[in-house]
Chains A and B, each alone.
Chain A
């Protein structure tokens, strides 16, 4: 290789490097700009259980989609480019398929390799509950007490996706109306409270004199939502402190647009 070749090579390298640095700087500036513009909380992305602080979420989440795959009801989806820097990160579209509480161990958080969905919170709560349970019965559990159920129950109490908000104007019950028809028009999975099996919601025919589907199908029942009398023949769901924002109420709400929606938690 001659001396001139070396010089030419160096010039070529410098030219290419300059182009590389310029394009990297452009990408960086766009990333910075998007960071200010796209505040995902205001866009209302409902993150899966255990999601950490939104700013940290964007570097912890590697967009692998393991949480999408493990969810037994396929509630989790990956965001597209319209979500800016949140592209590829998981969210729940409660309208279509809510997180219905029917899983065995909050697997989405458990499977996350970078703890963008942090399982430790749930693990701790579950372990504490089981310890408490054993202490309560002096280490001798009666046959009808299932420690596993107690554990998962405690784990689900600490998860917090958001909170349900009711818009009275759209609510059927507020206008004293009932509802008859399929539970949802599209096919979604749901485990009704008190049942062991999941069902397809479009196969369930419901008939209510006064619409109270959100309260009936809430996995947390009276801890989270009750129907409150607001006048003669009128009622309105009232959201209580127990609400964790799973979104089942939004999914089963028969109005269009929904009278009850989940407001994502300020993470």
Chain B
């Protein structure tokens, strides 16, 4: 238990390490200017390109499986079958389980339901919870493009940056579960842009896309990444799973120059709290459950202080 607690909260509660002295910063050690060091990562998009290719591949696989009747990846992101193995959206499944307690519903929790639900949980526990968001979710893809437009508007000073308290997503998560319980229906699924987009891509567009467009335009002209950051209960469910994931973004303090570019590109900058000068409490840190493992920070880091890593692998296997 102590290990689990330490894993989740321990690092933040520890006393910070003393801030690096100027000569300890990576560019000073190499004897180059900050600008020269900082320009190294300019225009690097390795992980973003890999991720976008994977995301598009998965979503296209759904489409061609249906169009050509291949049977490789059937269904949609609400529930699917990969070569015969069922996969279920975890938040959908949680709602079903909640309803199951109040209605005479147990017979509907079929073997396929349980295989799908548990497979998804185990798989995303391994690859890091919200990895679903950045590597699979089609809404994330469009929101990422929208974010670029949003940043442009901000830069042009047409709109002002606005943020909310990020904890509000838990309120939404509990709220949507309660709504399912009270109405006995999957209310969230009618508003779920992931499901709507996925179905629109596979089965053809419908009126429901208007909702997705509305959400996207609010993200572009209003609040940056509004849905993903503050509302989406699917992401929250995955973040619970990802809290204890072995695969994570690894941070090495001695390579960090504290430019904090990573926090600028990050969807959930609070997960990179340790990059601020004098904030890190260990030499090596790992991101937590909210991290989508998108790899934008890895691309942007001039000192290569960030990388994909296995949590506490240094403790287990040695450095």
Q: Which A residues have a C-beta under 8 Å from some C-beta of B? A: 9, 12-13, 15-17, 19-21, 24, 27-28, 31-32, 35, 55-56, 58-66, 68-70, 77-78, 80-82, 85, 87-88, 111-116, 118, 120
CB atoms of B185 and A58 under 8 A apart: yes
12 A-B Cβ contacts within 8 A? A13-B167, A16-B165, A19-B168, A20-B171, A24-B179, A31-B190, A59-B186, A60-B96, A64-B79, A65-B199, A115-B108, A115-B110
Give the residue of B103, B110, B165, B189 whose beta carbon is less than 8 angstroms from that of A88: B189
Give the residue of A80, A81, A113 whose beta carbon is less than 8 angstroms from that of B79: A113
Interfacial chain A residues near B66, Cβ < 8 Å:
68-69
- Write the chain A residue with the least CB distance to B184: A59
CB atoms of B179 and A113 under 8 A apart: no
B173 to chain A, nearest CB (A): 10
CB atoms of B199 and A17 under 8 A apart: no
Give the residue of B103, B105, B107, B195 whose beta carbon is less than 8 angstroms from that of A63: B195
Give the residue of A28, A63, A116 whose beta carbon is less than 8 angstroms from that of B187: A28
The answer to whether A114 and B230 touch (CB under 8 A), given A58-B186, A65-B75, is: no
Give the residue of A32, A66, A68 whose beta carbon is less than 8 angstroms from that of B81: A66
Q: Which B residues have a C-beta under 8 Å from some C-beta of A? A: 65-66, 74-76, 78-81, 86, 88-89, 92, 95-96, 99, 103, 105, 107-110, 112-113, 116, 164-165, 167-168, 171-172, 175-176, 178-180, 182-187, 189-191, 195-196, 199, 202-203, 206-208, 210-211, 230-231
Interfacial chain A residues near B76, Cβ < 8 Å:
63-65
Give the residue of B171, B175, B183 whose beta carbon is less than 8 angstroms from that of A31: B183
- Write the chain B residue with the least CB distance to A60: B108
Give the residue of B175, B202, B206 whose beta carbon is less than 8 angstroms from that of A80: B206
- Most chain A CB within a 10 A radius of its CB, from B116, B168, B172, B211: B168
Interfacial chain B residues near A85, Cβ < 8 Å:
185, 187, 190
CB atoms of A113 and B172 under 8 A apart: no
B16 to chain A, nearest CB (A): 12
Interfacial chain B residues near A16, Cβ < 8 Å:
164-165, 167-168, 171, 230
CB atoms of B165 and A59 under 8 A apart: no
The answer to whether A21 and B78 touch (CB under 8 A), given A62-B89, A114-B113, is: no
CB atoms of A87 and B208 under 8 A apart: yes
CB atoms of B171 and A69 under 8 A apart: no
Give the residue of B80, B99, B107, B190 whose beta carbon is less than 8 angstroms from that of A64: B80
CB atoms of A62 and B176 under 8 A apart: no
Interfacial chain B residues near A66, Cβ < 8 Å:
74-75, 79-81
For the complex of A and B, the 9 pairs showing the least CB-CB separation, nearest first, are A64-B79, A80-B206, A24-B175, A16-B168, A81-B207, A13-B165, A113-B112, A20-B171, A12-B165
12 additional contacts, CB 8 Å, given A24-B171, A59-B184, A62-B96?
A31-B187, A62-B189, A66-B79, A66-B81, A81-B208, A82-B207, A85-B185, A88-B189, A113-B113, A114-B96, A114-B108, A114-B113
B278 to chain A, nearest CB (A): 13
A89 to chain B, nearest CB (A): 10
Interfacial chain B residues near A111, Cβ < 8 Å:
81
- Write the chain A residue with the least CB distance to B180: A59
Interfacial chain B residues near A80, Cβ < 8 Å:
206-208
Bound Cα distance A70, B86 (Å): 14
B244 to chain A, nearest CB (A): 25
Bound Cα distance A115, B208 (Å): 25
Interfacial chain A residues near B116, Cβ < 8 Å:
113
Interfacial chain A residues near B74, Cβ < 8 Å:
66, 69-70
- Write the chain B residue with the least CB distance to A10: B165
The answer to whether A21 and B185 touch (CB under 8 A), given A16-B230, A59-B103, A69-B66, is: no
Bound Cα distance A70, B207 (Å): 24
- Write the chain B residue with the least CB distance to A9: B165
The answer to whether A62 and B186 touch (CB under 8 A), given A80-B207, A114-B113, is: yes
